[in-house]
Amino acid sequence: MEPVIIVLIILVVLVFIALIKTIQVIPQASAAIVERFGRYTRTLNAGLNIVVPFIDTIRNRIDLREQVVPFPPQPVITQDNLVVNIDTVIYYQVTDARAATYEVASYIQAIEQLTVTTLRNIIGGMDLERTLTSREEINAALRGVLDEATGKWGIRVNRVELKAIEPPTSIQDSMEKQMRADRDKRAAILQAEGVRQSEILRAEGEKQSQILRAEGEAKAAALRAEGEAQAVRTVFEAIHAGDPDQKLLSYQYLQMLPKIAEGDANKLWIVPSEIGDALKGLSGAMGNFGGLGGGSGTGGGNGGASVPAQERREKPSID
């Protein structure tokens, strides 16, 4: 009985192994290459697949999703003989699992070497300044060459990115100094423009202020002159309406003399020649007033004549 049990156990184990090898489950977005006696038979897609155990074998399982592969920095010489280190990142996707398995031994290594050689050809025709400012152009050129070369390998290059471009340390120092000088220059220009604009605005403001001040003074002078003219007309009309005689005018003239002499600054004042006529008229008026009052002729005459005589004898003090 014991040999029979051992044989049954062996048969069960073989059946179990056969079942495992017969049923193959492929995950989503993956593919598997099946070989029969070392020759390619078919490609297994995602899902449950049945193969012949011990005859069919799984050669390779390939991920069909988009892959990202960063490559280490590569030294590249520019057109002006400067060595720069460039980091690249490749985004690719396997579209044909059979070609990716049989057309190239290691498509990752092949893509890396192809990227390095293509990058050296592209950068070799550019100077440093253009290399630093033409990333989009370099990416497009790299992608075109890689996509064309890897198409027969069953690989599609979706995107190529330059992660970093590092020029030599001395060149970096020179570039920093140049950038600093350019920034200082722009700052000085902006400051000069600001000062210039400020001066222009200040000059325009002063000009506008002077114009407004002159217009105000002109209007004020015009209004003042108009007021004085109106006052003169009013006085002139009042005088003519009152019909004053020579005696009243003479009396008013004498009343204005003390006001003329007022003030410490009036050191010298001149009596006009017409003062005599005014005094004569006033003396006659006072004489007539005395005669009407009925006083003695001598007293009245002396009283009437004494006022203008005294006024004529008075002289302003000269300091």
- Work out the pLDDT band at 129, boundaries 50, 70, 90: confident
| Mean pLDDT for the stretch of residues 267-281 | 58
Contact 40, 67 (CB under 8 A): no
Residue 19: how many CB atoms within 10 A of its CB? 10
User: Judging by beta carbons within 10 Å of its beta carbon (0-12, 13-18, 19+), is residue 304 exposed, middle or buried?
Assistant: buried
Is 308 contained in some domain? Answer: no
Length of the chain: 319
Is 173 contained in some domain? Answer: no
CATH for 120 = 3.30.479.30
Cβ-count burial 172-201 (b if 16+ within 10 Å, e if not): eeeeeeeeeeeeeeeeeeeeeeeeeeeeee
Look at the block and give the residue holding tokens 């006024």: 311
| Mean pLDDT for the stretch of residues 245-252 | 64
Angle at alpha carbon of residue 304, lines to 299 and 305, rounded to 5°:
100
Q: Are residues 84 and 122 in the same domain?
A: yes
Q: What's the chain's average pLDDT? A: 78
Is 230 contained in some domain? Answer: no
Is 274 contained in some domain? Answer: no
Give the range among 115-124, 245-254, 277-286 with minimum mean pLDDT: 277-286
The SS3 call for residue 38 is coil
Q: From CA 214, how far away is CA 227, in angstroms rounded?
A: 20
| Mean pLDDT for the stretch of residues 129-141 | 86
Of 302 and 251, more confident: 251
- Work out the pLDDT band at 289, boundaries 50, 70, 90: very low
pLDDT of amino acid 9: 82
Q: Are residues 73 and 137 in the same domain?
A: yes
Q: Are residues 160 and 72 in the same domain?
A: yes
Chosen domain end from 140, 167, 194: 167
Convert the pLDDT of each residue in 166-177 to its tens digit. Answer: 887 777 777 778
Q: Are residues 111 and 30 in the same domain?
A: no
Q: Give CA 129 to chain center in angstroms.
A: 27
Does residue 85 register a pLDDT over 60?
A: yes
Domain housing 57: 21-62
- In sequence order, what are the residues at sequence separation of 6 or more whose Cβ sits closer than 8 angstroms to the Cβ of residue 119? 74, 76, 86, 88, 138, 142
Convert the pLDDT of each residue in 208-226 to its tens digit. Answer: 889 988 988 889 888 888 8
pLDDT of amino acid 184: 86
- Work out the pLDDT band at 310, boundaries 50, 70, 90: very low
pLDDT of amino acid 83: 87
Q: Are residues 71 and 117 in the same domain?
A: yes
- For the chain, the domain total comes to 2
State pTM to two decimals: 0.52
Q: Which two tokens stand for residue 189?
A: 């220009």
- Work out the pLDDT band at 249, boundaries 50, 70, 90: low
